[in-house]
Amino acid sequence: MKFSTCLLLSAAALIPFHSASAQEEAGEHREPADDFHGEIVVAAPGLERLDLLAGTSVIAGEELQRNLDGQIGEVLSKLPGVSASGFAPGVSRPILRGFGGERVRVLTDGVGAIDASSASDDHAVTVEPLITHKVEVLRGPAVLLYGSQAIGGAVNVITKRIPPAVPDEAFHIDALASVDSASNRREGGLSVDVPLGTSVAFHVDGSYRKTDNLEIPGFAASEGLRADLLAQADEEEEEGHLEEAEELREGANTEGELPNSWTETYTLGTGIAFFSGESNFGVSFDYYDTNYGIPGLPGLGHVHEHEEGEEEDHEDEDHGDEDHEDEHEEGDVSIGMQRYRVDLRGTLDLGDGFFDRIQTRWGYSDYTHTEFEGDEIGTVFDVEGVEGRVELVQSNRNGWQGSIGAQFAHTDFSALGAEAFIPSNKTDSYAVFALQEVDLDLFELELGGRYEHTDVDAMQSLGIARDFDTFSGAAGLSYALTDQFRLGINGSRAERAPSAQELFADGPHVATQQYEIGNPALGKEGSWGLEGFLRGALGPATISASIYHNWFDDFIYLSETGVEEDGLEVFEFLQQDAKQFGLEGQITVPVYRTEGFTLLTDLRGDYTRATLSDGSPVPRIPPLSLLGALEGKFGDFDARAEVQWFGEQTRVSEHETPTEDFAFVNLSLAWHPLTGEENFTLMLQADNVFDAEGRRHSSFTKDFVPLAGRNFKLSARASF
């Protein structure tokens, strides 16, 4: 039975332009048979080939297992054009083409996460990879259909929480469990789908993860930060502050383990769906709970606490030790996060008219994020919101197909506590959009457009409200060089309304070690974009490559003011024009093949450069990265050896530190013991084999939060 999961965005579930036969011919591994035994069509029917406007990567099956992590940013970090914010082991958001935060939307089954993760890099995304079916990463102009905030890209996490079909068996089980050595990780996820008659499916799932502090190679502090800490220790000692000097030296010499980097997460979910022919209706409920530590600056903790204590020390040196003790009575900083969510999905078959069907998707979320200082509650962020889409999907008529739709989103944000740097506010947006495709034999034309109205209301807290009208559009044209290979070009105009944080922030932002001040006068951000691409199978090779250039009008960014507040440097949100250039690609080629054995090579790479109109670099842009791998398939085994290299990043903004280059060597061996049914995979991995030190340039905390050292992992994945 064919079925659409109704992601409510015609390009949402797009798989790159590779046919199954091309994948097999190129020696790629099929995704393990871990779905229901009936056929499942993830993409919206009739719109499966919308590969022009969306540069899409899909990670699923064995690759998802190999890259499994508690944070969705780390799961995707080996894909071309993708990095991660890497704030801490318990929180890491995706970075797409150098952009993150408010410019990248993270969605669950096509609807926003509806949390506070984009407000700060220390706020985790409420997504659990353990119960994820697959993840799609969309880059390029098609993401305009997700909303104006997706100007940098979108990550769509696909689950089966609302059952996609009625199982043709008594029950269907998906399970995933793993352990590792670097963090003493213990995790497991389980989902069960049961048919309740011939037209009803029921789903239940749960997961649990716990990790200890992360093992790291060498010192926690980078070479530059460590030198600064030791110099400060000498100064404190000369002034007679012996305890402070000792703490600074202890922080500088912290090695082998990243303090306060533990995590603990569990989730519960259930859903039910009803089917009648091509029509269906489903609802789900889930609960997400996570707690994780926030590593502080070695020897300093959180800067604002240290600086306040330091100021008091200078006012009265006799009370220096007492202030220092009071500071540490607050204890380590940790985050406690809870989220309740309800989702709805519906599809109504309209028959053989102009429109094939109408489909809708809604999500409601009640989210609370609590920051603790020891056992004391510091700041509490609450988000309650709803987001929904309604879409009319056109029938295919003489090579012309598409969809039109509308979207609504409401978010009620509040923050209470010492670090409530964003005032309470409400954001409402209303949008209409359309995407059309015309098949012209060897040529294919796609057109997309979106109008969105956004209200950002802080009347109760500040007496200020702003509204914005944004227009976005895209056009793409491709040419089929062969039946399996296309080249093309697309252009776009995208506009984004500033977020509440960019408009109204006013307070200490410890995650970025800054005191942030918003600008209520900000205008909307715009971008003109041009992208060329190659995609498909060319002979035995599978190729996907893009080159792009974006010109931003009124790019929103943080700029230092040169003054301090609460011991933190003050930054304010400003606007000026900017430009971005980049390229990314992946090629998979079989290099040797005999009966029973296939060896292929997997090459990936990406580069991004972004510059403000005054000539200064946009901060925290990831450096050039390259990945090369050899993968062999023999009998029931898959073996992979890869090297991922990150270049140095010395092109930095005025107040940003450079990052050294590093390389990780990773090995994995997967065993499929059930011959003919790849529904059980046991995998043994050794990541960062040579225990190299690595730091993500896109991370605010890179100078004191390095990546994991040598890590041995054992995981098992089953579907039956």
Write the pLDDT tens digit of every residue in 97-153: 999 888 898 999 989 989 988 888 888 899 999 999 999 888 766 676 777 777 888
C-alpha separations of 112 from 8, 105, 708 in Å: 12, 7, 30
3-state SS class at 608: strand
For 315, residues 6+ apart whose C-beta sits below 8 A from its C-beta are none
φ, ψ of residue 25 in degrees (nearest 5): -65, -35
The secondary structure of residue 122, as a DSSP letter, is T
CATH 2.40.170.20 fits 20-220+259-294+332-719, yes or no: yes
User: Structure pTM?
Assistant: 0.87
> Whole-angstrom Cα distance, residue 577 to residue 41?
42
Q: How many CB atoms lie within 10 A of CB 174?
A: 21
Which residue in the block uniquely carries the two structure tokens 């842009």? 621
Strand partners, 215: 257
Residue (of 344, 395, 350) closest to 44 by Cα position:
395
Quick one: pLDDT at residue 147?
Answer: 77
Quick one: pLDDT at residue 26?
Answer: 35
What is the token pair recorded at 398? 């003489």
Quick one: pLDDT at residue 720?
Answer: 87
**Helices 242-252 and 320-329, interaxial angle, to 10°?**
40
To 5 degrees, how large is the angle CA 267–CA 118–CA 57? 75
In the predicted structure, residue 40 carries a pLDDT above the cut 60: no
What is the token pair recorded at 477? 């044209």
Quick one: pLDDT at residue 215?
Answer: 97
Structural element, H or E, at residue 402: strand 400-417
**Strand spans (E) along 261-399:** 263-276, 279-293, 333-349, 355-373, 376-394
Quick one: pLDDT at residue 456?
Answer: 96
Q: How confident is the model at residue 510 (pLDDT cuts 50, 70, 90)?
A: low
Mean pLDDT of 69-92: 94
> Whole-angstrom Cα distance, residue 567 to residue 309?
10
Q: How confident is the model at residue 511 (pLDDT cuts 50, 70, 90)?
A: low
Residue (of 424, 429, 427, 423) closest to 456 by Cα position:
427
C-alpha separations of 674 from 31, 73, 173, 185, 228 in Å: 15, 32, 16, 27, 56
Q: Across the chain, what does the average pLDDT equal?
A: 86
Alpha helix (H) ranges present in 461-615?
Answer: 500-504
The residue with greater pLDDT, 666 or 488, is 666
